[in-house]
Homo-oligomer: A and B are copies of this chain.
């Protein structure tokens, strides 16, 4: 493997000049540039990325921290990787599997200069602790954060959830159950707030058993339906879900139990993924890919010290066969 030193020696110029050619500096004569380029080609030269990173103090790599990769965050991940790559940045995946120590590894890696910045989705560590890492580089969160030092590209879940609530009420459903997600997240508290507000506004029957938290998966959705429908006492006639996976589980199990959807039970998903399309589930469109783009752009502006250019985003309700 050839290096910059060899190119310099062979061409008769200094390392500095060769470096200038590499970095497209205008202060190199065309003749010199040509000579050096030719030799680079002959030797099949490629610059060593580690040396550049060490010298510059930047890696052009961004870490994405998450508990695990699932279908809901797929568009986020894809869009982020794509946008980053368009700007010459790479994305490193850090999955914690819910282990705080493992998650912290990603933040340590920013201190170690392995990544220039971090984008986080679901985090299990204390936010105050994570906030202390902000001095080592930009941290942007997909979820809404309590700590102001960690910027967020989250959208106001209150508005999105309200869209779903108003929709089912307009369709005549009143006994509304909610499968909420992570209990500690601000996304969830926004949704809970929306539900409370609308329950008060329309004087809906409220049953504490109808609003469990910590429901994320298909299986949990299936389980939830069994509990809600087999319980003695009044049944809900609409279920709003934390995401489309849960909605799929709910729909599936309800049908298996012989419950008619949407006649006896309305089901609303969230995120409007392909799954919702396939199964014909009414869902709330959440512009996730655009949020990922915003996340990268936010990081880039912090890295370059420029003004961030963000796009305005909004939720939309996509009505299908389950309501």
Interface residues of A (CB under 8 A from B): 46-51, 53-54, 59, 61, 68-71, 74, 77-78, 81-82, 85, 90-95, 97, 102, 108-109, 111-114, 218, 245, 248-249, 252, 274-275, 277-280
* Docked-complex contact A112 and B48, CB < 8 angstroms: yes
* Docked-complex contact A51 and B49, CB < 8 angstroms: no
Q: Nearest B residue to A69 by beta-carbon distance? A: B78
Q: Which residues of B contact A54 (CB under 8 A)?
A: 48, 50-51, 53-54
Q: Nearest B residue to A1 by beta-carbon distance? A: B111
Given A92-B90, A92-B92, A95-B81: A218 and B49 interface contact (C-beta under 8 Å): no
* Docked-complex contact A49 and B274, CB < 8 angstroms: no
* Docked-complex contact A274 and B218, CB < 8 angstroms: yes
* Docked-complex contact A50 and B218, CB < 8 angstroms: no
Interface of A is mostly: helix
A92 to B109, CA, bound (A): 14
* Docked-complex contact A277 and B218, CB < 8 angstroms: yes
* Docked-complex contact A85 and B102, CB < 8 angstroms: yes
* Docked-complex contact A69 and B74, CB < 8 angstroms: yes
A122 to chain B, nearest CB (A): 14
A77 to B95, CA, bound (A): 11
Q: Which residues of B contact A94 (CB under 8 A)?
A: 85, 90
Given A50-B59, A69-B77, A277-B218: A97 and B82 interface contact (C-beta under 8 Å): yes
Given A48-B54, A278-B218: A93 and B81 interface contact (C-beta under 8 Å): yes
Given A82-B95, A93-B81: A278 and B70 interface contact (C-beta under 8 Å): no
Given A50-B53, A54-B50, A278-B218: A71 and B71 interface contact (C-beta under 8 Å): yes
15 interchain pairs, CB-CB under 8 A: A48-B113, A53-B54, A69-B77, A69-B78, A71-B274, A74-B74, A77-B93, A81-B93, A90-B93, A90-B109, A90-B114, A91-B93, A93-B93, A248-B278, A279-B279
